[in-house]
Amino acid sequence: MQGINQILQRMSTIQQRFQISPRANGDFSKILANEQANHSNPSSSSAPSNVGTEKNFATNDISKMIQFAAQKYGVDPKLAMAVAKVESNLQPDAVSEVGAEGVMQLMPETAQGLGVRNNKDPRENIDGGIRYLKQLMASFGGDVTKTVAAYNAGPQAVERYNGTPPYSETQAYVTKVMALYKS
């Protein structure tokens, strides 16, 4: 829990520092790269204090990408972060036993359907994953629990059971994501 609180605290700091605003008409990769270039100068007073530790810096980059994409698509950044944390622990090179890839653990077919060209590119993967969250949220009338369950088990399973399916993996997943989201 302490790690999540640190991430959320860092997200708040990043949001205040960069005052990132959604830009619906911009190319996500180009905008994010520009934001990173504008704020990565080590002599700048806004440079991250933990630049020396690559793992932390990478996590901070992932957090920025999640924050940016969540704002871009109008998804609660705390929900997006909770899903990403449970899916991959924010690891861009994560691959599941069934072939889901990246931070948001998109299956190749799902990624392709979302227009993600390179599922291993964290920017594209996060953008696609959060766009998928937005689509699921719309499909389930804003019901966060059903949205989270559908992200894990698929929307058809949630529709079939009119809620979280009776799959132990999905039930545990929903419990973890909701605990992070509500904390």
Domain interval for residue 78: 2-19+28-34+52-182
Residue 86: inside a domain: yes
Residue 46: inside a domain: no
Residue 43: inside a domain: no
Residue 47: inside a domain: no
Residue 45: inside a domain: no
For residue 102, the 8-state DSSP code is T
Residue 41: inside a domain: no
User: Is 159 annotated in the active site?
Assistant: no
Q: Is 116 in contact with 125 (CB distance < 8 Å)?
A: yes
pLDDT in tens, the chain (183 residues): 566 656 656 655 555 555 444 443 445 555 555 554 544 443 333 333 333 333 444 678 999 999 999 999 999 999 999 999 999 999 999 999 999 999 999 999 999 999 999 999 999 999 999 999 999 999 999 999 999 999 999 999 999 999 999 999 999 999 999 999 999
Select which of 87, 101, 124, 169 is catalytic: 87
Q: Is the pTM of this model over 0.75?
A: no
Q: Is 86 in contact with 177 (CB distance < 8 Å)?
A: yes
Rounded to whole angstroms, how far apart are CA atoms 145 and 147?
A: 5
Name the residue type at position 131. Answer: R
Residue 12: inside a domain: yes
> 151: phi > 0 → left, psi -120 to 50 → alpha, else beta; which?
alpha
Q: Is 67 in contact with 11 (CB distance < 8 Å)?
A: yes
Cα angle vertex 125, ends 121, 126, to 5°?
Answer: 120
Residue 40: inside a domain: no
Q: Is 92 in contact with 102 (CB distance < 8 Å)?
A: yes
The backbone torsions φ and ψ at residue 22, rounded to the nearest 5 degrees and listed phi first, read: -65, 140
The CATH number of whichever domain residue 88 belongs to comes to 1.10.530.10
Total number of domains in the chain: 1
The sign one gets for the Cα dihedral 156, 162, 167, 169 is: positive
